[in-house]
Amino acid sequence: MSDLSQKIRTALFVKLAVSNVTSLATGGVHYRVAPANTNRPFLVFDRQSPGLVNYNFGFTRTHEDDLWQIRAVTDEDSSVAKSPQSLGEEILNAAITAIGLNLTLPDAVTWAVLRVRDIPNYTEKVSDRIVFHQGFLLRVVAAPV
Amino acid sequence: MNRHFLDHYGEREVPRFFENLMVRGATDQITIYREQTESDGAGGMIKTATAGLAPQSIPCLIRGDNVKDGSKYMAADQMTSIAPYMLTFPLVYCDKIIDVRPSDRLKAAAREDLPARTFRVVSIKNMGVRYEAYCELENAL
């Protein structure tokens, strides 16, 4: 992972780990995996699809263009008032609002921070219940300054 | 209550045996929780209640299953560990035949230094005068 991606990772976490998101995703926000003792619902994010690192003619890096995945993980026990499907959507909406259209990066700027597509929803079984995964891909174009 | 298949042993002696064990602190106490779901109006499902069923605080022998091994694996973006347990409790308790199903959860009350634990039922066997429930205990109690 490049230094720029590390900065994006930190900036995304700062944007996502706010009360508007964590009041819904009570298990918190985690990079790639959640700790074993974390109860759902929670939010995970990861750099799903690293893009090309772009250079100018002098081989100076100009920008990086990556897709990040932001995914809500809920299960049947996550809420007694909402379905896990609805709760997952609410978490994602809160995440989209929280991220906004830019990230604050040290020694770098974002040229684009855009939700470009949703991921296909999928489910899996853990012990005696169904876990629901819903998420979206976020395109982040960032350039060092 | 349809008791034609139960004799005095099953109705009286076995529950009394479990009660005596419980009085001596030799058993745990479990309560059966049943899941109910309803539609969220858009095809989703909401679990509306996990109320404890009567009778509650049933004396129960809890032991690790010596046949099946536990496991630890990655699932739902986190490390999950599963430990198999066998729970044994009477078929009749408080003068009622206990209604327990494979989709239920058995919650053991906190006891001495042990916290409350949720056992997730995999299968139930009616052994005539007692139930044997094969359950799983997760890392998150």
When scoring B35, B39, B46 by the number of chain A Cβ atoms within 10 A, the one with the most, hence best to mutate, is B46
Helix count and strand count (H, E) for chain A = 3, 7
Q: What is the pLDDT of residue B114?
A: 87
Q: What is the pLDDT of residue A101?
A: 96
C-beta separation of B48 from B37 below 8 A: yes
Whether the pLDDT of residue A118 is over 80: the answer is yes
The list of chain B residues with pLDDT below 70 reads 1-6, 49, 140-141
B78 contacts chain A (CB < 8 A): yes
ipTM above 0.95, yes or no: no
Q: What is the pLDDT of residue B5?
A: 55
Nearest CA in chain B to A73: B76
Q: Do B122 and A128 touch (CB under 8 A)?
A: yes
pLDDT above 90 coverage of chain A, percent: 83
Q: What is the pLDDT of residue A144?
A: 92
Q: Give mean pLDDT, residues A16-24.
A: 97
Bin A24: left if φ > 0, else alpha if -120 < ψ < 50, else beta. Answer: alpha
Q: Do B40 and A82 touch (CB under 8 A)?
A: yes
Q: Do B75 and A124 touch (CB under 8 A)?
A: yes
Interface residues of chain A, partner chain B, Cβ below 8 Å = 30, 32-40, 42, 44, 71, 73, 75-77, 79-86, 124, 126-128, 131, 133
> What does the alpha-carbon distance between residue A27 and residue A12 come to, in Å, rounded to a whole number?
17
pLDDT above 90 coverage of chain B, percent: 40
Average pLDDT of every residue of chain A: 94
B74 contacts chain A (CB < 8 A): yes
Least confident interval from A6-20, A103-117, B11-25, B78-92: B11-25
Task: Give the 3-state secondary structure percentages of chain A, helix then strand then coil, rounded to 5.
Answer: 25, 45, 35
B140 contacts chain A (CB < 8 A): yes
B122 contacts chain A (CB < 8 A): yes
Nearest CA in chain A to B103: A128
Nearest CA in chain B to A29: B77
Q: What is the pLDDT of residue A107?
A: 94
Q: Which of B88, B91, B78, B98 is nearest to B138 (CA)?
A: B78
Chain-centre distance of CA B23, in angstroms? 19
C-beta separation of B122 from B106 below 8 A: no
Q: What is the pLDDT of residues A47-84, one digit of tens each?
A: 998 888 889 998 899 999 999 999 999 999 999 899 99
Q: What is the pLDDT of residues A25-46, one digit of tens each?
A: 999 999 999 998 899 999 999 9
